[in-house]
Structure formats: structure tokens, C-alpha cells
Amino acid sequence: MSEKKFYITTPIFYANAELHLGHTYTLVLSDILARYHRLIGDRTFFLTGSDEHGDKIVRAAQKEGIGPQAFVNGNVAKMQELLKELGISNDLFIRTSDRELHWPGAKKLWHALESAGDIYKGTYKGLYCVGCEAFITEKELVNGKCPLHDTEPEHIEEENYFFKLSKYGPEIKRLLESGELKITPHSKVNEIIALLSSLTGENSLGDVSISRPERAIPWGVPVPDDPTQLMYVWCDALSNYISALGYGSDNEEKFKSFWPADIQVLGKDILRFHALLWPAFLLSAKLPLPRELLVHGFVNSGGKKMSKSLGNVLSPGEFIALYSRDALRYYLAREVSPIEDWDLTREKFKEVYNANLANGLGNLVSRTLKMAEQYFGGVVRGDATHSPSIRTKLTTIEAPGDVAGLNIPYIITNDILPRYHKHMSVSEINKAADVVWELIGHLDQFVTDYEPFKLVKTDKKAAEAVIWGLLYGLREVGQMLVPMMPDTAERITLLVGVSLVGADEMVFNSKAPSEPLFRRKE
């Protein structure tokens, strides 16, 4: 196993309602990257979880007529059920209400900021958006409302603890400009630098409130040595990335082994917290910064960001029930750019499903395995590829030799796999998926060129060479789909039934599927 480690996180999801397709994309994108790094042998730790404190939770619980802990317990149970339905392979689900795992880390981080001289008490007077769980300024409003939640902010005046964010503005700007703090896509780096540059003079980067009075929000992590104040949600929430690794516990070996995070996946609406506040906390605490912030776009529905507060959410359960979780994972992997906004419609989903899964991959697997079973009883031998009676017709790559069955391994080894790994290594999931479907296209063309169903009548050895090449290609398709479509990958591998005989011979003990991988939807 590789000695290289890989630590990936999602943002922790706010436990005030069920997760929608926007959250699903975050989870699936992160899961694909985690599964890929496990596949290549990296020591991998994948974290997700729930953000359970704050004003919104208290208000939502009161509306339901129950306490906040009971309220979040119900929503967290639904979150964890969705993770199972999606096949998410997280190593840990962190909860900010977990007093044993999370609270010690949150409190240790507070003490570190305090020891650095970066916390002081003061009075906050201004605007507060409950939806954002953030204090905002007049200039951020659009027509007097928060642009993300389309609600008017509240006017608040209260005594809080403040963090000296202004102290770290210049260093954060330097880290962004030098690339030491990497943000993908790079346009987001320019966005944060522009924000920092605009916050000068009278608009200088201000210090931020990191607590709320316990009497105002009686639900959160108490400030160390001052139970009259509770940690404000972002100070509490951001620390989950290290508390989950044991930071603040009696045993910090996992923290020492996996921190800093290699990739922290997040939506663009919370970038400023992760690109300004989180690095400042870490700099103050003298902890390493994450290696990369991967910022994805919004899932739009009807042209607007999918949002619980706007009431335009689409349920992932709907697509899983009608198509399958791998069909949903496929769509999110290939049809969505990790760095751009995208719009989802039920019609578009069905069109893509039928074209690329039912008619594409599913049809190729079905007809190849049926030919293998019909003509060779499912047992197709690699040494058949040494037959000289068939010549390659594929012209996309100049393959050495004159044997059709050998052309597929050549294409895969010298073209497909290098590009697949290149894209996966830089989180270009959609481009990696395109490469997989490019191989599927090669295999379809292979059948068209050689027509093994006809060839078997005149040259059975040559037909076996062709079908061996197809099975070899499907085996590689299955391997590349492990991160994106794990159920489908496992099924293809079992159906192809590869076994190695000696050093050079590969024999397939294949079996035709009793049911199609993907049924066409009319």
C-alpha cells in the first residue's frame, strides 16, 4: 500500500431540513475522489457530517414544538440514510453536538486563538442573516435583502467575543497570490483577492464576532471559561475538520497523520468563510493550512440555485427510486462540471440515462457477454489473440502488431488510462468520465468493424480474439468506474469473470446478465 495519505472533507451540512440534490452533488463528488485515492492505494480518510448549532436550528425546533437535540437527531438520521442510499463511503460522520468527539477540539482551537492574543470582547451592532448564520453589511444586500436567501436581515446589538481577522488579511492575500493556499477554480482566487483588496481604508477587513450570548441562542458549544457565551456557528463548525481527527483529545495520532486536508470540497456560497476565516483561525493556532479548496457551483432548478429556503429543491431519492443510485452518480460525475453552475431537469436526466447507460454501456455489456456465452460457453482465452487471421481496422491509434484483440489493451494502456488518471488526479471528474465513455465508444466500434457474430461462422479463433478484446475492455471499464459507479463496476467485474493463468494469459469466465444493467425508460 502507498505511504501517501489523502484527507478529503465535505462541509458539514446544516441539520435544519433534509438534504437536496445540491448537497448530493457535494457528497458524490467527494466520494468519487475518496474512492479513487483508495483505488490507487493512498491511505484515505473521508469526512462528512452535520452542523447542528445556531439560531436556525433553535427556531426550526421551536416551530416543530420539540427541543433542538431531538430536532437535529431526526434530521441527522435522514442525512445518514441518504448517505447509504447514495453509496457514500465516508470514514466518519462528525456531529457538532457530539460532546466527546467534537467539543474538545472546538474548545482547544478557541484556547489556541486566545493564546495568540486574537480574541477580545466587544459589542456588535449591525445586521444578521439567520439563513447565512452570518453578520452582513448594508452593501451586501440586494434591495434590502440577503441575495442568497431573499430575506431581510435582523438588526442586532449584543456583547460578543471577536476574532482579529484583520490581523491576518495581508498574510492570507500573500498565500493566495503565491499559490500556497490553492483554490480551484483559480477564478475564485482572484475573487477572494479582489474582496481583500476592496476591504481597505474605511472598508478594511474587520474583526468578526465568534460568539453569541447564551441567553440569545441557548444551543451550542460554551465558550471556555465563560458559559454566558456560546461559540458562534462558524467558529464551532469549521473546527470539525480537525476535531474529527482527534484534535483536542487525549490521542491526536490521527490528526498528526492526516492533517492538513488535501482537498476540502465546498459550495461557492461558503467560500469566503473557508478562504478567509478558516485560514485565519489556522494561522492564529499555528496549524498547517489545507492544501486545496475545491469550490463547486450551484445546482439550479428552474434557473435558480436549489435551496431549501426558496422551496425549489429536487429530491435525490426521486432519481434513485426511478433509475438507481449509480444512474444518479453517473449523471453527477459526467454531466456536471465540478467548477460551474448547472441546471437539472427530469427530461434531461432521462435523455442522458437512455442514451449513455441503457443504450450505451448497458447494451454493450449485454451483447458482448451474450456472444461470449453463446459462442464459447463464456470461457474466452487470451491466447486466442495470437491468431494471425484477423487485422485491426481501428485507425484512431497506430497499434503494433496485426491482431485485433491486442489492439484494445494497447489503446487502454497507452491512451485511455493515462488520460483517465491525469483528470482524476486534478479532480476533473467529468473529463475522466468522458474518457471512460470514449473507451466504451471504441468497444462499440470494435463490434461494428469486426462483426464477431458473423466472423464466428468462418474463423472461430479470430472471433474469439475479438470477443477477448471486448471482455478485456469491459474489465477496464469496470475498474475505472469503481469510484464513480461502484455497484455497476462490481457487477461488470463479476459478469466478465476474469482470471489469470500464468504470467501472460488472461482467461475470461464470463456470464451473460439475466437482467440488463440499465433498463430503458420510455
Q: Which domain holds residue 452?
A: 346-509
Q: Is 305 a catalytic residue?
A: yes
Residue 435 inside a domain? The answer is yes
Write down the catalytic residue from 5, 111, 149, 182.
Answer: 149
CB 381 within 8 A of CB 464: yes
Residue 418 inside a domain? The answer is yes
Q: Is 20 a catalytic residue?
A: yes
Write down the catalytic residue from 182, 268, 305, 461.
Answer: 305
Q: Is 129 a catalytic residue?
A: yes
Count of domains forming the chain: 1
Residue 13 inside a domain? The answer is no
Q: Which residue has the cell 457538532?
A: 96
Q: Is 146 a catalytic residue?
A: yes
Residue 443 inside a domain? The answer is yes
- Residue 384 is predicted with a pLDDT of 42
| Pick from 157-161, 180-184, 354-358: least confident | 157-161
Residue 256 inside a domain? The answer is no
Write down the catalytic residue from 308, 421, 423, 461.
Answer: 308
Residue 167 inside a domain? The answer is no
Q: What is the DSSP letter of 3?
A: S
Write down the catalytic residue from 53, 56, 108, 129.
Answer: 129
E strands along 344-383, which residues? 379-381
Residue 262 inside a domain? The answer is no
For the cut 90, the answer to whether the pLDDT of residue 390 exceeds it is: no
- Name the nearest CA neighbour of 184 among 333, 290, 51, 48: 290
- Residues facing residue 222 across a β-bridge: 230
Q: Is 235 a catalytic residue?
A: no
State the CATH number of the domain containing residue 502.
1.10.730.10
Backbone angles phi, psi at 270, to 5 degrees: -115, 20
- pLDDT tens-digit profile of 480-519? 999 999 999 999 999 999 765 554 567 899 999 989 999 9
- pLDDT tens-digit profile of 452-488? 999 899 888 888 888 998 999 999 999 999 999 999 9
Residue 41 inside a domain? The answer is no
Write down the catalytic residue from 146, 164, 173, 296.
Answer: 146
